[in-house]
DNA sequence: CCGGATGATTGACG
DNA sequence: CGTCAATCATCCGG
Protein backbone atom coordinates (compact mmCIF):
# COMPACT_ATOMS: atom_id res chain seq x y z
CA UNK A 1 0.00 0.00 0.00
CA UNK A 2 2.72 2.33 0.77
CA UNK A 3 4.07 2.27 -2.70
CA UNK A 4 0.99 3.75 -4.21
CA UNK A 5 1.30 7.26 -5.47
CA UNK A 6 0.27 9.62 -2.73
CA UNK A 7 -0.94 13.08 -3.44
CA UNK A 8 -2.69 15.28 -1.02
CA UNK A 9 -2.38 18.85 0.02
CA UNK A 10 -1.57 18.95 3.64
CA UNK A 11 -2.06 22.58 4.36
CA UNK A 12 -5.63 21.89 5.27
CA UNK A 13 -4.64 19.49 7.91
CA UNK A 14 -5.45 15.83 7.97
CA UNK A 15 -9.14 15.78 7.39
CA UNK A 16 -10.91 15.24 4.14
CA UNK A 17 -13.81 17.46 4.87
CA UNK A 18 -14.63 20.04 2.29
CA UNK A 19 -12.92 18.34 -0.58
CA UNK A 20 -14.60 19.69 -3.66
CA UNK A 21 -16.01 17.41 -6.21
CA UNK A 22 -15.50 14.27 -4.23
CA UNK A 23 -19.11 13.35 -3.87
CA UNK A 24 -19.99 13.80 -7.49
CA UNK A 25 -16.93 11.92 -8.55
CA UNK A 26 -18.00 9.06 -6.43
CA UNK A 27 -21.37 9.04 -8.06
CA UNK A 28 -19.96 9.30 -11.53
CA UNK A 29 -17.42 6.60 -11.02
CA UNK A 30 -19.54 4.05 -9.26
CA UNK A 31 -23.11 4.83 -9.97
CA UNK A 32 -23.82 2.54 -12.87
CA UNK A 33 -21.59 -0.34 -11.88
CA UNK A 34 -23.16 -2.58 -9.31
CA UNK A 35 -26.21 -1.02 -7.85
CA UNK A 36 -27.04 -0.10 -4.30
CA UNK A 37 -24.61 -2.38 -2.44
CA UNK A 38 -21.51 -0.77 -3.74
CA UNK A 39 -22.78 2.69 -3.25
CA UNK A 40 -23.45 1.85 0.32
CA UNK A 41 -19.96 0.48 0.72
CA UNK A 42 -18.35 3.57 -0.64
CA UNK A 43 -20.50 5.79 1.45
CA UNK A 44 -19.38 3.92 4.50
CA UNK A 45 -15.75 4.00 3.65
CA UNK A 46 -15.84 7.68 2.92
CA UNK A 47 -17.60 8.35 6.12
CA UNK A 48 -15.00 6.46 7.99
CA UNK A 49 -12.16 8.32 6.38
CA UNK A 50 -13.76 11.62 7.13
CA UNK A 51 -14.35 10.91 10.77
CA UNK A 52 -11.24 8.99 11.50
CA UNK A 53 -9.46 11.91 13.03
CA UNK A 54 -12.25 12.55 15.46
CA UNK A 55 -11.99 9.18 17.04
CA UNK A 56 -9.85 8.02 19.87
CA UNK A 57 -6.60 6.39 18.91
CA UNK A 58 -7.24 2.73 19.56
CA UNK A 59 -10.70 2.97 18.16
CA UNK A 60 -9.28 4.60 15.08
CA UNK A 61 -6.59 1.98 14.87
CA UNK A 62 -9.15 -0.76 14.59
CA UNK A 63 -11.19 1.18 12.08
CA UNK A 64 -8.18 1.95 10.03
CA UNK A 65 -7.22 -1.63 9.85
CA UNK A 66 -10.68 -2.55 8.75
CA UNK A 67 -10.58 0.23 6.26
CA UNK A 68 -7.30 -0.82 4.78
CA UNK A 69 -8.58 -4.31 4.28
CA UNK A 70 -11.73 -3.16 2.62
CA UNK A 71 -12.12 -4.46 -0.87
CA UNK A 72 -12.99 -1.07 -2.25
CA UNK A 73 -10.06 0.63 -0.71
CA UNK A 74 -7.58 0.51 -3.63
CA UNK A 75 -10.14 1.82 -6.00
CA UNK A 76 -11.08 4.64 -3.73
CA UNK A 77 -7.48 5.45 -3.20
CA UNK A 78 -6.96 5.79 -6.89
CA UNK A 79 -9.91 8.08 -7.16
CA UNK A 80 -8.56 10.25 -4.42
CA UNK A 81 -5.22 10.38 -6.15
CA UNK A 82 -6.86 11.43 -9.33
CA UNK A 83 -8.73 14.24 -7.69
CA UNK A 84 -5.65 15.26 -5.88
CA UNK A 85 -3.66 15.43 -9.04
CA UNK A 86 -6.11 17.87 -10.48
CA UNK A 87 -6.15 20.16 -7.48
CA UNK A 88 -2.51 20.05 -6.64
CA UNK A 89 -1.58 22.12 -9.66
CA UNK A 90 -3.52 25.08 -8.39
CA UNK A 91 -1.87 24.82 -5.01
CA UNK A 92 1.64 24.73 -6.30
CA UNK A 93 3.51 27.94 -6.03
CA UNK A 94 1.07 29.40 -3.57
CA UNK A 95 3.74 30.13 -1.02
CA UNK A 96 7.44 30.34 -1.55
CA UNK A 97 10.39 30.46 0.79
CA UNK A 98 10.60 33.56 2.94
CA UNK A 99 13.85 35.51 2.80
CA UNK A 100 16.24 34.97 5.70
CA UNK A 101 14.98 37.13 8.52
CA UNK A 102 17.12 40.22 9.03
CA UNK A 103 16.51 40.41 12.73
CA UNK A 104 17.33 36.78 13.24
CA UNK A 105 20.56 37.26 11.38
CA UNK A 106 21.40 40.25 13.52
CA UNK A 107 20.78 38.28 16.67
CA UNK A 108 22.84 35.38 15.39
CA UNK A 109 25.70 37.65 14.49
CA UNK A 110 25.68 39.29 17.84
CA UNK A 111 25.55 36.02 19.73
CA UNK A 112 28.43 34.82 17.64
CA UNK A 113 30.39 37.99 18.23
CA UNK A 114 29.81 37.81 21.97
CA UNK A 115 30.97 34.24 22.01
CA UNK A 116 27.66 32.85 23.15
CA UNK A 117 26.89 30.72 20.16
CA UNK A 118 30.35 30.26 18.74
CA UNK A 119 33.05 27.70 19.58
CA UNK A 120 33.62 27.11 23.28
CA UNK A 121 36.72 29.06 24.19
CA UNK A 122 37.83 31.45 21.49
CA UNK A 123 34.95 33.85 21.02
CA UNK A 124 34.13 34.45 24.64
CA UNK A 125 37.60 35.34 25.76
CA UNK A 126 38.16 37.46 22.69
CA UNK A 127 35.05 39.48 23.36
CA UNK A 128 35.91 39.82 27.01
CA UNK A 129 39.42 40.88 26.13
CA UNK A 130 38.09 43.48 23.76
CA UNK A 131 35.75 44.74 26.44
CA UNK A 132 38.58 44.84 28.93
CA UNK A 133 40.73 46.76 26.51
CA UNK A 134 37.92 49.20 25.96
CA UNK A 135 37.72 49.95 29.66
CA UNK A 136 41.39 50.70 29.67
CA UNK A 137 41.78 49.27 33.12
CA UNK A 138 45.19 48.61 34.56
CA UNK A 139 46.61 45.16 34.31
CA UNK A 140 46.13 43.90 37.80
CA UNK A 141 42.50 44.59 38.48
CA UNK A 142 40.80 43.89 35.24
CA UNK A 143 41.83 40.26 35.32
CA UNK A 144 39.48 39.83 38.23
CA UNK A 145 36.72 41.64 36.38
CA UNK A 146 37.63 39.75 33.31
CA UNK A 147 37.09 36.41 34.97
CA UNK A 148 33.90 37.70 36.51
CA UNK A 149 32.66 38.74 33.12
CA UNK A 150 33.74 35.45 31.66
CA UNK A 151 31.98 33.50 34.36
CA UNK A 152 28.74 35.35 33.80
CA UNK A 153 29.03 35.03 30.07
CA UNK A 154 29.60 31.31 30.45
CA UNK A 155 26.52 31.11 32.58
CA UNK A 156 24.44 32.84 29.96
CA UNK A 157 25.96 30.66 27.33
CA UNK A 158 25.10 27.49 29.19
CA UNK A 159 21.52 28.51 29.71
CA UNK A 160 21.29 29.46 26.09
CA UNK A 161 22.63 26.16 24.89
CA UNK A 162 20.51 23.98 27.13
CA UNK A 163 17.42 25.90 26.13
CA UNK A 164 18.35 25.74 22.49
CA UNK A 165 18.92 22.03 22.77
CA UNK A 166 15.59 21.58 24.47
CA UNK A 167 13.85 23.43 21.67
CA UNK A 168 15.67 21.49 19.04
CA UNK A 169 14.79 18.22 20.67
CA UNK A 170 11.17 19.20 21.04
CA UNK A 171 11.13 20.29 17.43
CA UNK A 172 12.60 17.03 16.25
CA UNK A 173 10.24 15.03 18.37
CA UNK A 174 7.26 16.91 17.10
CA UNK A 175 8.44 16.70 13.53
CA UNK A 176 8.92 12.97 13.61
CA UNK A 177 5.61 12.60 15.32
CA UNK A 178 3.85 14.56 12.62
CA UNK A 179 5.73 12.77 9.91
CA UNK A 180 4.74 9.42 11.31
CA UNK A 181 1.21 10.58 11.53
CA UNK A 182 1.19 11.75 7.94
CA UNK A 183 2.89 8.62 6.75
CA UNK A 184 0.37 6.57 8.55
CA UNK A 185 -2.42 8.56 7.04
CA UNK A 186 -0.95 8.34 3.62
CA UNK A 187 -2.07 4.75 3.60
CA UNK A 188 -5.68 5.84 3.59
CA UNK A 189 -5.38 9.08 1.70
CA UNK A 190 -2.90 10.40 -0.79
CA UNK A 191 -0.11 12.56 0.66
CA UNK A 192 2.91 13.50 -1.38
CA UNK A 193 6.39 13.61 0.14
CA UNK A 194 6.52 17.20 -0.89
CA UNK A 195 3.59 17.97 1.28
CA UNK A 196 5.13 16.25 4.22
CA UNK A 197 8.18 18.34 3.61
CA UNK A 198 6.12 21.47 3.54
CA UNK A 199 4.49 20.52 6.79
CA UNK A 200 7.91 19.96 8.32
CA UNK A 201 8.90 23.38 7.14
CA UNK A 202 5.93 24.91 8.81
CA UNK A 203 6.80 23.21 12.05
CA UNK A 204 10.39 24.34 11.81
CA UNK A 205 9.37 27.89 11.19
CA UNK A 206 7.17 27.84 14.26
CA UNK A 207 9.95 26.49 16.41
CA UNK A 208 12.50 28.89 15.05
CA UNK A 209 10.27 31.76 16.01
CA UNK A 210 10.37 30.40 19.53
CA UNK A 211 14.14 30.16 19.26
CA UNK A 212 14.21 33.74 18.18
CA UNK A 213 12.68 34.76 21.45
CA UNK A 214 15.35 32.82 23.27
CA UNK A 215 18.03 34.50 21.21
CA UNK A 216 16.53 37.88 21.82
CA UNK A 217 16.47 37.51 25.56
CA UNK A 218 19.97 36.08 25.52
CA UNK A 219 21.17 39.08 23.59
CA UNK A 220 19.52 41.33 26.09
CA UNK A 221 21.22 39.60 28.96
CA UNK A 222 24.59 39.87 27.25
CA UNK A 223 24.03 43.54 26.57
CA UNK A 224 23.21 44.22 30.18
CA UNK A 225 26.20 42.26 31.36
CA UNK A 226 28.40 44.01 28.89
CA UNK A 227 27.23 47.49 29.72
CA UNK A 228 27.73 46.84 33.39
CA UNK A 229 31.16 45.49 32.72
CA UNK A 230 32.08 48.33 30.44
CA UNK A 231 30.95 51.04 32.77
CA UNK A 232 34.31 51.42 34.42
CA UNK A 233 32.98 53.83 36.98
CA UNK A 234 31.19 51.05 38.72
CA UNK A 235 34.31 49.02 39.27
CA UNK A 236 36.84 51.72 39.89
CA UNK A 237 40.10 50.71 41.42
CA UNK A 238 42.64 53.12 42.76
CA UNK A 239 45.96 53.18 41.05
CA UNK A 240 48.66 51.44 42.91
CA UNK A 241 50.99 53.38 45.14
CA UNK A 242 53.86 53.39 42.72
CA UNK A 243 51.77 54.82 39.91
CA UNK A 244 50.44 57.54 42.17
CA UNK A 245 53.96 58.42 43.23
CA UNK A 246 55.16 58.71 39.69
CA UNK A 247 52.24 60.92 38.76
CA UNK A 248 52.61 63.09 41.83
CA UNK A 249 56.29 63.39 41.21
CA UNK A 250 55.67 64.74 37.76
CA UNK A 251 52.90 66.99 38.95
CA UNK A 252 54.84 68.67 41.73
CA UNK A 253 58.01 68.95 39.74
CA UNK A 254 56.03 70.73 37.02
CA UNK A 255 53.85 72.76 39.31
CA UNK A 256 54.28 75.90 37.26
CA UNK A 257 52.92 74.18 34.23
CA UNK A 258 51.38 70.84 35.15
CA UNK A 259 50.28 70.03 31.63
CA UNK A 260 52.21 67.07 30.33
CA UNK A 261 52.59 66.89 26.59
CA UNK A 262 51.26 63.98 24.65
CA UNK A 263 54.63 62.28 24.73
CA UNK A 264 55.03 62.92 28.43
CA UNK A 265 51.62 61.43 29.00
CA UNK A 266 52.55 58.38 27.04
CA UNK A 267 55.72 58.00 29.02
CA UNK A 268 53.89 58.37 32.31
CA UNK A 269 51.25 55.96 31.15
CA UNK A 270 53.87 53.39 30.32
CA UNK A 271 55.64 53.86 33.64
CA UNK A 272 52.43 53.56 35.61
CA UNK A 273 50.98 50.83 33.40
CA UNK A 274 47.81 52.81 32.87
CA UNK A 275 46.38 54.37 29.74
CA UNK A 276 47.09 57.83 28.40
CA UNK A 277 43.53 58.90 29.00
CA UNK A 278 43.86 57.78 32.58
CA UNK A 279 46.91 59.98 32.87
CA UNK A 280 44.88 62.85 31.43
CA UNK A 281 42.10 62.16 33.88
CA UNK A 282 44.53 62.07 36.73
CA UNK A 283 46.10 65.38 35.82
CA UNK A 284 42.75 66.96 35.24
CA UNK A 285 41.52 65.87 38.63
CA UNK A 286 44.76 66.76 40.29
CA UNK A 287 44.95 70.25 38.87
CA UNK A 288 41.43 71.14 39.79
CA UNK A 289 41.67 69.62 43.25
CA UNK A 290 45.01 71.16 43.94
CA UNK A 291 43.79 74.57 42.89
CA UNK A 292 40.66 74.22 44.94
CA UNK A 293 42.50 73.66 48.16
CA UNK A 294 46.19 74.35 47.94
CA UNK A 295 46.58 74.22 51.67
CA UNK A 296 45.48 70.65 51.85
CA UNK A 297 48.13 69.63 49.38
CA UNK A 298 51.01 71.58 50.77
CA UNK A 299 52.41 68.78 52.82
CA UNK A 300 52.32 66.54 49.83
CA UNK A 301 53.89 69.25 47.70
CA UNK A 302 56.73 69.73 50.12
CA UNK A 303 57.37 66.07 50.28
CA UNK A 304 57.59 65.55 46.55
CA UNK A 305 59.55 68.70 46.06
CA UNK A 306 62.08 67.54 48.59
CA UNK A 307 62.27 64.18 46.97
CA UNK A 308 62.83 65.52 43.46
CA UNK A 309 65.38 67.91 44.85
CA UNK A 310 67.20 65.01 46.43
CA UNK A 311 67.26 63.00 43.25
CA UNK A 312 68.25 66.08 41.29
CA UNK A 313 71.21 66.73 43.51
CA UNK A 314 72.08 63.07 43.34
CA UNK A 315 72.03 63.18 39.60
CA UNK A 316 73.98 66.39 39.40
CA UNK A 317 76.66 65.11 41.74
CA UNK A 318 76.97 62.10 39.51
CA UNK A 319 77.76 64.42 36.66
CA UNK A 320 74.81 64.05 34.30
CA UNK A 321 71.90 66.41 34.56
CA UNK A 322 69.62 65.37 31.79
CA UNK A 323 66.22 66.03 33.23
CA UNK A 324 66.57 69.40 34.87
CA UNK A 325 66.18 71.94 32.05
CA UNK A 326 62.56 71.14 31.37
CA UNK A 327 61.13 73.26 34.17
CA UNK A 328 63.74 75.34 35.87
CA UNK A 329 61.07 77.46 37.36
CA UNK A 330 59.24 74.97 39.50
CA UNK A 331 61.90 72.47 40.39
CA UNK A 332 64.27 75.06 41.65
CA UNK A 333 62.69 76.06 44.89
CA UNK A 334 63.01 72.83 46.74
CA UNK A 335 63.80 74.54 50.01
CA UNK A 336 60.37 76.14 50.33
CA UNK A 337 57.99 74.79 47.74
CA UNK A 338 55.02 75.83 49.77
CA UNK A 339 55.64 79.47 49.16
CA UNK A 340 56.05 79.27 45.49
CA UNK A 341 53.25 76.89 44.82
CA UNK A 342 50.50 79.46 45.07
CA UNK A 343 48.65 80.89 42.07
CA UNK A 344 50.60 78.81 39.62
CA UNK A 345 47.40 77.41 38.25
CA UNK A 346 44.87 79.93 37.27
C1' DC B 1 29.16 52.32 58.65
C1' DC B 2 30.58 57.04 57.57
C1' DG B 3 33.06 60.49 55.24
C1' DG B 4 36.92 61.81 52.69
C1' DA B 5 39.73 60.26 48.69
C1' DT B 6 39.76 59.16 44.04
C1' DG B 7 39.08 57.64 39.20
C1' DA B 8 35.74 58.43 35.56
C1' DT B 9 32.10 60.90 33.14
C1' DT B 10 29.60 64.80 31.45
C1' DG B 11 28.73 69.31 29.60
C1' DA B 12 30.42 73.86 28.62
C1' DC B 13 33.94 76.59 26.49
C1' DG B 14 37.49 78.30 23.48
C1' DC C 1 40.37 68.26 20.93
C1' DG C 2 42.01 69.52 25.52
C1' DT C 3 40.71 71.54 29.72
C1' DC C 4 37.71 72.99 33.55
C1' DA C 5 34.13 72.31 36.79
C1' DA C 6 30.68 69.67 38.68
C1' DT C 7 29.17 65.31 39.65
C1' DC C 8 28.87 60.29 40.01
C1' DA C 9 30.14 55.93 41.92
C1' DT C 10 33.22 53.45 44.22
C1' DC C 11 37.13 52.68 47.42
C1' DC C 12 39.13 52.61 51.83
C1' DG C 13 40.75 53.91 56.42
C1' DG C 14 39.10 54.99 60.92
Per-residue confidence (pLDDT) for residue A163, from 0 to 100: 93
Residue A325: pLDDT band by 50, 70, 90 thresholds? very low
Q: Report pLDDT digits (tens) over A265-301.
A: 999 999 999 999 999 999 999 999 999 989 889 888 9
Residue range A313-326: average pLDDT?
A: 53
User: What positions of strand C are covered by protein, i.e. any atom < 7 Å from a CB?
Assistant: 2-12
pLDDT at A11 over 50: no
φ, ψ (nearest 5 deg) of residue A226:
-65, -45
User: Å from A283 (CA) to C3 (C1')?
Assistant: 10
Smallest CA–C1' separation from A258, nucleotide: C3
Residue range A137-161: average pLDDT?
A: 67
Smallest CA–C1' separation from A277, nucleotide: B8
Q: Whose CA is nearest the C1' atom of nucleotide B8?
A: A233
User: Å from A344 (CA) to C5 (C1')?
Assistant: 18
Per-residue confidence (pLDDT) for residue A93, from 0 to 100: 55
Q: Report pLDDT digits (tens) over A177-194.
A: 988 888 888 888 888 888
Residue A332: pLDDT band by 50, 70, 90 thresholds? very low
Per-residue confidence (pLDDT) for residue A234, from 0 to 100: 64
pTM of the model: 0.49
Q: Tell me which of A77 and A269 has the higher pLDDT.
A: A269
Distance of CA A75 to the CA centre of its chain: 55
d(CA A30, CA A36): 10
Rounded to the nearest integer, the mean pLDDT of chain A is: 73
Residue A173: pLDDT band by 50, 70, 90 thresholds? very high
Rank A193-197, A204-208, A320-324 by mean pLDDT and report only the highest. Answer: A204-208
User: Å from A335 (CA) to C14 (C1')?
Assistant: 33
pLDDT at A321 over 50: no
Amino acid sequence: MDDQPRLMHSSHGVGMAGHPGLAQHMQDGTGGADGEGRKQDIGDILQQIMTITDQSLDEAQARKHALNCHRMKPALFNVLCEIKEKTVLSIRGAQEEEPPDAQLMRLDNMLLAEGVSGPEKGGGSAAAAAAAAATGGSGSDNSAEHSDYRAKLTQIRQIYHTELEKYEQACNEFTTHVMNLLREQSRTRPISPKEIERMVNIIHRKFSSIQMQLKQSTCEAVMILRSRFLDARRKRRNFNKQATEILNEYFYSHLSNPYPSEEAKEELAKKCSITVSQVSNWFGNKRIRYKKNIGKFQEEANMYAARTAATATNVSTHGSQANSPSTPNSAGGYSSPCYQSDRRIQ
